[in-house]
Chains A and B, each alone.
Chain A
């Protein structure tokens, strides 16, 4: 019932890693949204509404100055490489897989719990404005 020191430290390390990964993504999303919200096309939208698709459209539009174009392109690449669906999947496998192996009344509610956790770190940016998880298990 009580964990060993080794197991507890390993768990802390896991969470350090997880938060480090999530925060990195969150900061990238925050900066990408900041860049987009400074553009004329998005002046009427709140930063939280701006999505990955908006960023790709803005990059394709040719409206950005070279420095901003370069920065936003780099952010988009990093956000894509972070692979949010895979991050969620790893999280589920570690903590919540039992709800899919043994479905119960909580299983259908799990995606919104996952969104609640990951959206805090900018995951909603890559879910195309949808409140639903991209992934199905």
Chain B
């Protein structure tokens, strides 16, 4: 991928849990919080042989992939270490060591340290996961203390909310005090999950309004753009487009984004075409990798509200996609 992207002027970021592994190390399913999870493993920083293997792997891959422009440290998900002696500070320390290995092999590489709730690091993770907010605060304070040990030019992926795993808009925890401090001297980008379709789910969704809400909240702090993960990139063009536009201009409106998008894809700014996209939200929104789906009841009546052509009883909602289908067919004829 990096070889494909680089000649086209696209910088690829390699994101990996710093100690996630497949064949070596300890099964994560032996950790209470991961019981029943697929069979990932972690390499323990407490075991010299595993620590050595972890560093060797980063040395190997950073030599093998010189086309990768950005190397992103990731806490886990899955990964981390809940053993005694491990904590968020361990993640920071290891990331500094790994960053130096990468920079030795690729002096031009950019390091991206992603906080992501210090996911998986520390003994309390096993029973409390994100609920131990003191653990996350300790991690941020440790990061602040050792910020200068990261290679020059390192950027930091921090979300406004690093405490609950929910989207960027604060809802029970806020990292803004750390964002303000780190952002005074370093580049910060958001790492919001607000674009993702959910792991394993294959659905289109229209997340444009939610993306704009998140961008406007982030624009109040020293956050310069971001990286938005998606598990279904090929199906998620609209949301990626909206995110990219809103990174440049948080004040952009939904209608501006939609007009620009459909004109670029279909060659027209027809309202009939634009209003198709919210219908894709009929399907379940977000799931995690193959877990039992949450109960999701389609609200047929409200789906059809505010739309004169489709207003009426609940059944009109079912017919709406027929109209939408025809609309897309028309534009396919025009465009393709």
Contact = CB atoms under 8 A, between A and B. Distances in A.
Interface in B24-55: 38-39
Contacts of B335: 5, 9
B300 A27 contact: yes
A93 interface: no
A11 B279 CA distance: 15
Nearest to B265: A5
Contacts, number: 115
A3 B283 contact: no
A90 interface: no
A117 B293 contact: yes
A120 B325 contact: no
B201 A23 contact: no
Contacts of A117: 201, 203, 283-284, 293
B1 interface: yes
Most chain A CB within 10 A, of B38, B237, B287, B290, is at B290
Interface residue tally on B, bucketed by range: 35 or more
Given A16-B328, A27-B300, A120-B298, A106 B265 contact: no
Chain A at the B interface: SS class: helix
Interface in A105-137: 105-106, 109-110, 112-113, 115-117, 119-121, 131
A17 B325 contact: yes
B290 A113 contact: yes
Interface of B: 1, 4-5, 38-39, 200-204, 234-235, 237, 265-266, 276, 279-280, 282-284, 287, 289-298, 300, 314-315, 317-318, 321-322, 324-325, 328-329, 331-332, 335-336
7 contacts: A1-B4, A13-B328, A19-B282, A23-B321, A27-B315, A116-B294, A120-B284
Interface of A: 1, 3, 5-6, 8-13, 15-17, 19-20, 22-24, 26-27, 30, 95, 104-106, 109-110, 112-113, 115-117, 119-121, 131
